[in-house]
């Protein structure tokens, strides 16, 4: 029998294959996929749209009090979850490299983390979810039954991300992307609040030489062994 709520957490740095793996695993388990990064990207996007200065805590608090973020299953033939902010679909606008960097800055703000963590916990309160992010096993769902930390070398992560962005029609300089990925990971790992790190009870998987299907198979096997 599993030890806690039927929640799977998958944390790790950007480009480690978390999203693809989390989606596939959620589909196999018939669980809901919770993309917590999309929520940080949504707040970052809305701050930019509304001209909110990140250092202005009053403006930020006002935005967080009113913002409505909805995550919906991907449209037919698409991979990414659909994201609605205040009823307006913005999904594709959140997936750029620029928005990733801004989301990283926004995610270091305690008020943002508090608000989104609460929202994520509400979504997961009855279990049966696969949550993906940086702190889902350490902070958001410390009681989760199954925790994984998915890592890979920075070079392979930059390469995968470049392919992903090219697939979406973005022009990419892979060396620049590598530098951005290294910086974003450093910021995510070194921030004082909810830093990117493996939970003590997480199983770390290095996906550098592993195909996605193999990672999913490993996780699925592990979960079934204690379901």
**3 state DSSP class of 134:** coil
- Considering the complex, state which of residue 23 and residue 41 has its C-beta at the smaller distance from ligand DC: 41
- Considering the complex, state which of residue 103 and residue 129 has its C-beta at the smaller distance from ligand DC: 103
> Beta-carbon neighbour count of residue 56 at 10 Å?
12
- Considering the complex, state which of residue 112 and residue 216 has its C-beta at the smaller distance from ligand DC: 112
Q: Which positions ≥6 away from 76 have C-beta within 8 Å?
A: none
Comparing CA positions, the residue from 5, 3, 69 lying closest to residue 31 is 5
- Considering the complex, state which of residue 17 and residue 100 has its C-beta at the smaller distance from ligand DC: 100
The tokens 């008020």 sit on which residue? Answer: 111
Instruction: Give the N- to C-terminal CA distance of the chain in Å, as an integer.
Output: 5
- Considering the complex, state which of residue 99 and residue 219 has its C-beta at the smaller distance from ligand DC: 99
Q: Where are the alpha helices (DSSP H) in the chain?
A: 18-29, 36-50, 57-66, 91-94, 97-106, 110-123, 154-167, 174-190, 212-225
> Nearest approach, Cβ of 37 to ligand DC (angstroms)?
2
> Nearest approach, Cβ of 115 to ligand DC (angstroms)?
12
Residues near ligand DC, by CB under 6 A: 14, 36-37, 40-41, 100, 103-104, 107, 133-136, 184, 188
Are 189 and 196 spatial neighbours (Cβ–Cβ below 8 Å)? yes
């Amino acid at each position: 029998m599993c030890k806690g709520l039927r929640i799977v957490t998958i944390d790790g740095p950007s480009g480690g294959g978390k999203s693809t793996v989390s989606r596939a695993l959620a589909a196999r388990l018939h669980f809901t996929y919770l993309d917590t990064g999309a929520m940080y990207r949504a707040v970052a996007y809305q701050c930019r749209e509304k001209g909110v200065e990140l250092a202005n805590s009053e403006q930020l608090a006002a935005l967080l009090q009113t913002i409505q973020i909805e995550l919906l299953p991907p449209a037919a033939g698409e991979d990414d979850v659909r994201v609605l902010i205040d009823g307006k679909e913005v999904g594709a606008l959140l997936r750029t490299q620029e928005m990733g960097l801004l989301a990283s800055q926004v995610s270091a703000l305690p008020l943002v983390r508090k608000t989104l963590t609460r929202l994520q916990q509400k979504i997961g309160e009855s279990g049966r979810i696969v949550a993906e992010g940086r702190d889902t096993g350490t902070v958001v769902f410390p009681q989760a039954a199954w925790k994984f930390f998915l890592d890979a070398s920075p070079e392979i992560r930059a390469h995968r991300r470049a392919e992903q962005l090219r697939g979406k029609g973005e022009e990419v300089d892979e060396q620049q992307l590598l530098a951005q990925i290294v910086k974003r990971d450093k910021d995510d790992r070194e921030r004082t609040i909810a830093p990117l790190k493996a939970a003590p009870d997480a199983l770390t998987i290095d996906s550098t030489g592993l195909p996605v299907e193999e990672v999913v198979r490993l996780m699925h096997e592990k979960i079934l062994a204690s379901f």
